[in-house]
Amino acid sequence: MLHLVLESRLREAVGNVIPDADLPAIRVRPCPDPRFGDYQTNALMGLAKARRLNPRQLAAEVIARLDVRAWCDSVEVAGAGFLNFRVSPSALATVLREVLAEGRPLVPRADPIRTVVLDFSSPNVAKPMHVGHIRSTILGDCLARTLRLLGHRVITDNHIGDWGTQFGMLLVGWKRILDRDALAADPLRELERIYREINARCDPEKEGFDPALLESARAELVKLQAGDSENLEIWREMQRLSQAQFDAIYTRLGVRFDHTLGESFYNPRLPAVVEDLRARGIARESEGAIVVFFDDHPELKDAPTIVQKRDGGFNYATTDLATLAYRVETWQPQEIIYVTDGRQQLHFKQVFEAFRRWKPDVAVTLAHVWFGSILGEDNKPLKTRAGDTVKLADLLDEAEERALQVVTEKNPDLSEAERREIARIVGIGAVKYQDLLPNRQSDYVFSWSKMLALSGNTAPYLQYAYARIRSIFRKQAEQDPENRWEPSGAVAFELTTPEELRLAKHLLNFGIVVEMVADEYRPNYLCNYLFELAGHFTGFYEACPVLKAEGRQRASRLALCEITARVLQQGLNLLGIETAERM
Ligand code: ARG
């Protein structure tokens, strides 16, 4: 990792000039504009400002003590006090040789290693997973993969909604209007139907409002919560049916969880949580309910949280407080990350703030990583033609079906089984990539034609770039079966053309981008990095003959192809996207 070498040299030099400088804060990053250099630091300007020094003069003093001749052709002061580093082709060649021959990873191991709990996906029992859950699932899985690659200890926990008021209505529905055949055919569709029907009739605002039914729903819920065996058995059955559907989707998406501790798991702990909050004066009674007030909090002073309702019931926030305490006790994490849509921002602010007051000694970073909505082409939340929410399973089916058309057009000669397998990889990959590419906080428009396009910033484009590189190696092996190119050899890289240099430099930035994704919870950085990588590869491949080159140049270029393929594959893997050897 060249930038880390430069960073440590720079820190030494700065330490010589300013002994009390905060050295770890000094970072070297890729230069945003390659005309000025390859790497850059803006750290000296901040240091100069804090000490009332002239930044350019400080920069000159640092340069005088900075020895990076082994890696850089030049180091220059620019603008208000930036330092720009231009790395030498020989340094690039050395690093790439180590990457290739010694398998040195392009991604640095994190230090220190943290324990991170990731709460994501978390769909609700007895309701089909819909497109709203896809963003949480895909984003959370990508963050888990990224943090793991960096070496962190990651614990993924699916906090499914398997407890709560909806079960009163579901129980009434199950007992009165359940259609067993429909349940056998499509369990979640039937559960959704009974829930909807009962819910509509329990809504005082709606026409067919039936107060007696609402009363029964309440009574069934109370029975369930009191441990009534019949209701518990039905609840467990709904649970099993839902989990089976979730699991089918997770298998298709290649997502797995270390734990699935749903809301019900915390139910027995809720009374003690409320009691403790009261005993510590964090919560108090107000109009019969138990409430946490945030009077002195600028943002939350008008947003108190009810932790126990007047009827004795507990809330979503109470469960989240119990969950937080359990996670801290069980895993001692340094960080807990929650991935949900933006509408839960207030909820998590309240929960985090209440937790801080409740357990002021616990040092854990709490992050709510939220995201915007998926819109239809009409710019309204995505719906089916009939106006229903789109079910995740149907969406994935359609993605694979449409991808099959694209794959068949391109590869009419492949067998049906092969085409279907490629279509699976392409279709699922396209859905995921479209979701990870935009800034997660913005809404995005779901578009089949855009996400499946073979050109542009799409998964199929990147998967195709990967497959194209693999085909170069297949061709090489066919042309010269005796001398199959193997990556293990000590290749001497010859980086002479601008295209080779650009590609080589971009490859070395992979690790920085992976760290940025983890630091800011933004997979879109990686998407854009990979898109640029594919572009640089195309530039290189058009300008530099590979198989037609000879001797050392051929070996060097094949090696560049190999590392590019590895980075594409590894990068897509972090996004949860598979690659195919041919497309
Ligand atoms: N089940 C919730 C929903 O579907 C998401 C839960 C998120 N995690 C949490 N700890 N609150 O909206």
pLDDT in tens, 414-456: 999 999 999 999 999 999 999 999 999 999 999 999 999 999 9
User: Ligand 1 centroid vs 136 CA: distance in angstroms?
Assistant: 10
Q: How far is the CA of 163 from the centre of ligand 1 (A)?
A: 12
| Alpha-carbon torsion (115, 121, 127, 129), positive or negative | negative
Calculate mean pLDDT across residues 331-360: 97
Q: Is the separation of the CB atoms in 68 and 6 below 8 Å?
A: yes
End-to-end, the C-alpha distance of the chain in Å comes to 32
Residues 533-537: what's their mean pLDDT?
A: 98
Pick the residue whose CA is nearest to atom 6 on ligand 1: 122
Residue 167 CB–ligand 1 contact under 6 Å: no
Find out whether 2 and 508 touch, Cβ atoms under 8 Å. Answer: yes
Q: How confident is the model at residue 105 (pLDDT cuts 50, 70, 90)?
A: confident
**CA 285 to chain centroid:** 40
Highest mean pLDDT among 77-81, 124-128, 383-387 belongs to 77-81
**Cβ neighbours for 354, distance < 8 A, ≥ 6 positions apart:** 277, 282, 292, 294, 305, 307, 317, 321
For helices 2-17 and 55-64, the axis angle rounded to 10 degrees is 110
Which pLDDT score, from 0 to 100, does residue 291 have? Answer: 98
Mean pLDDT of the chain: 94
Among candidate residues 36, 39, 56, 44, the one with its CA nearest the CA of residue 18: 44
CA dist., res. 158 & res. 246, Å (int): 11
Query: Could you give the CA distance from residue 233 to residue 271 in angstroms, rounded to a whole number?
Result: 24
CA distances from 22 to 10, 26, 137, 177, 211 (A): 12, 7, 38, 68, 66
Token duo for residue 448: 């089949």
Return the ∠ at Cα 531 (arms to 527 and 537), rounded to 5°.
145
pLDDT interval class at 77 (50, 70, 90): very high
pLDDT, mean of residues 275-301:
96
Whether the pLDDT of residue 579 is over 70: the answer is yes
Please tell me the predicted confidence (pLDDT) of residue 182: 96
State whether residue 340 is helix, strand or coil. Answer: strand
Any atom of ligand 1 within 6 Å of the Cβ of 119: yes
Instruction: Give the pLDDT band (50/70/90) at residue 309.
Output: very high
Residue 225, pLDDT above cutoff 90: no
Report how far ligand 1's centroid is from the alpha carbon of 320 (Å). 9
Does 338 sit in the ligand 1 pocket, CB within 6 Å? yes
Q: Cα separation of 547 and 226, whole Å?
A: 73
Give the per-residue pLDDT at 390: 83
For atom 8 of ligand 1, the residue with the nearest CA is: 159
Match 């220059």 to its residue by tokens: 76
Helix, strand, or coil (residue 514): helix
pLDDT on residue 251? 97
**Does residue 124 line the site of ligand 1, with CB under 6 A?**
yes
Label residue 384 by pLDDT band (50, 70, 90). Answer: confident
CA of 341 to the centre of ligand 1 (A): 9
Ligand 1 center–CA 536 separation, angstroms:
41
Distance 158 CA to ligand 1 centre (A): 9
Helix (H, G, I), strand (E, B) or coil at 204: coil
Ligand 1: which of 118, 121, 122, 314 to mutate, most ligand atoms within 8 Å of CB?
A: 122
Assign 491 a pLDDT band (cuts: 50, 70, 90): confident
Residue whose entry in the numeric block shows the structure tokens 């542009």: 456
User: What's residue 489's pLDDT?
Assistant: 62
Is the pLDDT at 520 greater than 80, yes or no? Answer: yes
Atom of ligand 1 nearest to the CA of 160: 1
For the chain, what is the total number of helices (H) and then of strands (E)?
21, 13
Q: What is the pLDDT of residue 571?
A: 98
Can you tell me the distance from the alpha carbon of 77 to that of 84, in angstroms, rounded to the nearest whole number?
A: 6
Determine the residue of 159, 320, 389 to mutate for testing ligand 1's pocket, defined as the one with the most ligand atoms within 8 A of the Cβ atom. Answer: 159
Can you tell me the mean pLDDT for 306-312? 93
Q: How far apart, in Å, are the Cα atoms of 397 and each of 89, 236, 312? A: 48, 28, 44
For residue 87, the model assigns a pLDDT of 96
Q: Which domains does the chain have, with CATH numbers?
A: 2-87 (3.30.1360.70), 115-161+260-371 (3.40.50.620), 166-253 (no CATH), 459-574 (1.10.730.10)
Taking the centre of ligand 1 as the mean of its atom positions, its distance from the CA of residue 104, in whole angstroms, is: 39
**Whole-number pLDDT of residue 142:** 98
Q: Has residue 488 got a pLDDT over 80? A: no
Residue with tokens 């709560």: 164
Ligand 1 centroid – CA 160 distance (Å):
7
Residue nearest to atom 3 of ligand 1 (CA): 123
pLDDT for position 1: 80
